[in-house]
Structure 1
Amino acid sequence: MEHHRFSHHMFVKASTRFAAFGIMLLGILGMTTFAENASAHGYIESPASRAYNCKILVNKNCGLIQYEPQSVEFQKGFPLAGPPDGKIASGNHHLFPELDQQSPTRWQQMNIKTGKNTFNWFLKQPHATTDWKYYITKQGWNSSAPLARSSFDLNPFCSVYDGGKTPGVNVSHSCDVPADRSGYHVILGVWTVHDTEMAFYQVIDVNIQGGNVPKPQPTPELVNGAVYQFVNTNSGKALDVFNGGTADGTNVQISSVNGSAAQQWQVWLHSDGSYKLINTGSGKALDVYAAGTADGSNVQIYSDNGTSAQKWSFSKHSDGSYKLINTGSGKALDVYAAGTADGSNVQIYTDNGTPAQKWTFTRVR
């Protein structure tokens, strides 16, 4: 009886070991096949793509793309074909879902300027090439939503036609980044293979410096000299002067709508198309502290002085809300961390199209 039990135990133990070995072997073979298939591809090395920044550990928590930045491959023909919306960054590859995560702070942003920029590809093994195209996100794109065709200007800002030639392992393109972009944007580079049905997709997270802020245009819905209440669409709270203060430097926040003078703003049109917003309770202007231009610069009230720190342009979104852009910085009026509680701070931040930067206004008088 004891011998039978011992034999059964040894059989089960041996079977378990063989099964574990089989699973391990399949895993090794699978990874080997994946690596062999991936060896003939390429990535954008400079400015570093999202995938390449994963490889060099600048981007964190990237998953398997860390080992295969050259393998973001899918059907060619973007934007009519190619990866589906929401899967553009990963090339719809089931092994790289992390690449499709999207927020204003998820990925390291590479500093570039408008105008001439050089895009450098490294090709693990070159292919005969039809062309290379570069797309950029629209002004006011939503950087918190998964990348979709609606995120991009679908007319490439740069195209290079190779007509079937096979490039070397290092490829460089000189392209003009549009002058009307600034702050956080995503550039999509597409390398189209000539003799297969595939293309390679690389997204680059960039912080564009030196962009030209579009000339402000008067907003027809605003009546010059009228008084308005401004409400953040994300929170339903009003643009508010803390504790109804009247001193220079009093903080600006959001707070529950209460109809007080602390939440009433008289708008005045400047000759350059921008506006100043004067709080009726204090007679002071909506102002960026110390004329700051960095993300997170605080917003306060301050004596009307006509500087760009107090000039704001309005731009209407398709949903009927508005973004308010400070003309001195090119940054949007923003609720810190998309806060919704009374007292959440108001600042300026790179225009990203999120609800934290969307405002409606109602005329009070």
Structure 2
Amino acid sequence: MRSRKPDQSGGKSRSAVRQPLRALVLLLAMMVGMLPWAGTAQAHGTIINPASRAYQCWQAWGNNHTNPAMQQQDPMCYRAFQANPDTMWNWMSALRDGLGGNFQGRTPDGQLCSNALSRNDSLNQPGQWRSTNVSRNFTIQLYDQASHGADFFRVYVSKNGFNPATQRLGWGNLDFITQTGRYAPAQNISFNVSTSGYTGQHVVFVIWQASHLDQTYMWCSNVNFV
């Protein structure tokens, strides 16, 4: 039986070289598998002004979400973080596929702010959500990580008499304001909205129909008309 001799030149044998090389390849493969994909499954967007409920919570508390002061200072975000932190960490992924434009038929009353996603039900809860001051004419800003573009945006405002502190939002609580045209792919999209007759606390409800697929996003932004 042949004995395997070491390289007479002082170098390592082929098998000795291959073993750490295999280990390195395996380690790299594992690291690649752990990386998040920035494709259509994860990279999306939201309304950042006036901030959607999930985005407002992430923006205000994302780096400080274990701070016990949140319970007193921002109780709605505190409840949302307690219910499911992923609602805030994935503020950009509140989407559903294949609605075919049947937004009202596929989205039950009381589930509009979560886009009927059970994991985000905390966003439907009535209460003292932080609000953004707006005038009767204001600008809506979308941030879209993946630059999908838009077939259109639909904008609604909650009716006078609706109380977001005590009521879940339903379709019958909304006034339709406007529907935009198409927008080319871009990370930042802004458009102006004109309203009249609103004062005080309201909800701005926005539907974004993305252009790359039949993907629909819905958000609630709490506003204070001043």
Same fold (TM over 0.5): yes
Instruction: Name the aligned partner's letter for residue 221 of structure 2.
Output: I
Residue in structure 2 matched with residue 68 of structure 1 by the alignment: 90
Residue in structure 2 matched with residue 328 of structure 1 by the alignment: none
Instruction: Name the aligned partner's letter for residue 111 of structure 1.
Output: N
1:200 to 210, 217, 223: 217
Q: Work out the CA distance in 1 between the residues paired with 2:117 and 2:152.
A: 22
* Cα 1:169–1:195 shift into 2, 3 Å: closer
Residue in structure 1 matched with residue 143 of structure 2 by the alignment: 122
1:109 to 102, 111, 131: 131
Instruction: Name the aligned partner's letter for residue 166 of structure 1.
Output: A
Identity of aligned residues (%): 23
Whether 1:188 and 2:205 are equivalent positions in the alignment is yes
Q: Work out the CA distance in 1 between the residues paired with 2:94 and 2:103.
A: 16
Q: Work out the CA distance in 2 between the residues paired with 1:56 and 1:149.
A: 28
Residue in structure 2 matched with residue 45 of structure 1 by the alignment: 48
Cα offset, 1:113, TM superposition: 1.2
Higher relative contact order, structure no. (Cα contacts within 8 Å, ≥ 6 residues apart):
2
Larger strand proportion of the pair? 1
Whether 1:146 and 2:149 are equivalent positions in the alignment is no
Q: Are the aligned partners of 1:79 and 1:149 in contact in 2 as well (CA < 8 Å)?
A: no
Q: Are the aligned partners of 2:149 and 2:186 in contact in 1 as well (CA < 8 Å)?
A: no
Cα offset, 1:205, TM superposition: 0.2
* Cα 1:171–1:183 shift into 2, 3 Å: same
* Cα 1:76–1:184 shift into 2, 3 Å: farther
Q: Are the aligned partners of 1:39 and 1:124 in contact in 2 as well (CA < 8 Å)?
A: no
* Cα 1:30–1:98 shift into 2, 3 Å: farther
1:55 to 32, 37, 58: 58
* Cα 1:139–1:98 shift into 2, 3 Å: same
Residue in structure 2 matched with residue 161 of structure 1 by the alignment: 181
Q: Are the aligned partners of 1:39 and 1:125 in contact in 2 as well (CA < 8 Å)?
A: no
* Cα 1:134–1:48 shift into 2, 3 Å: same
Q: Work out the CA distance in 1 between the residues paired with 2:46 and 2:40.
A: 15
Q: Work out the CA distance in 2 between the residues paired with 1:183 and 1:31.
A: 45
Q: Are the aligned partners of 2:104 and 2:171 in contact in 1 as well (CA < 8 Å)?
A: no
Q: Work out the CA distance in 1 between the residues paired with 2:105 and 2:35.
A: 29
TM-score normalised according to structure 1 size: 0.43
Cα offset, 1:148, TM superposition: 0.9
Q: Work out the CA distance in 1 between the residues paired with 2:189 and 2:105.
A: 25
Cα offset, 1:32, TM superposition: 5.5
SS in 2 for 1:80: helix
Residue in structure 1 matched with residue 158 of structure 2 by the alignment: 137
2:188 to 161, 164, 170: 170
Query: Where do residues 24-39 of structure 1 align in structure 2 (5 Å cutoff)?
Result: 38-39=41-42
Q: Work out the CA distance in 1 between the residues paired with 2:211 and 2:117.
A: 21
SS in 2 for 1:130: strand
Unaligned runs of 5+ in 1: 1-28, 210-365
Larger helix proportion of the pair? 2
Q: Work out the CA distance in 2 between the residues paired with 1:36 and 1:133.
A: 25
Larger radius of gyration: 1
Q: Are the aligned partners of 1:76 and 1:199 in contact in 2 as well (CA < 8 Å)?
A: no
SS in 2 for 1:99: helix
Query: Where do residues 209-220 of structure 1 align in structure 2 (5 Å cutoff)?
Result: 209=226
SS in 2 for 1:87: coil
Q: Are the aligned partners of 1:108 and 1:205 in contact in 2 as well (CA < 8 Å)?
A: yes
Q: Are the aligned partners of 1:76 and 1:82 in contact in 2 as well (CA < 8 Å)?
A: no
Q: Are the aligned partners of 2:163 and 2:201 in contact in 1 as well (CA < 8 Å)?
A: no
For the aligned residue pairs, the C-alpha RMSD in angstroms reads: 2.5
Residue in structure 2 matched with residue 88 of structure 1 by the alignment: 112
Q: Are the aligned partners of 2:163 and 2:202 in contact in 1 as well (CA < 8 Å)?
A: no
SS in 2 for 1:70: coil
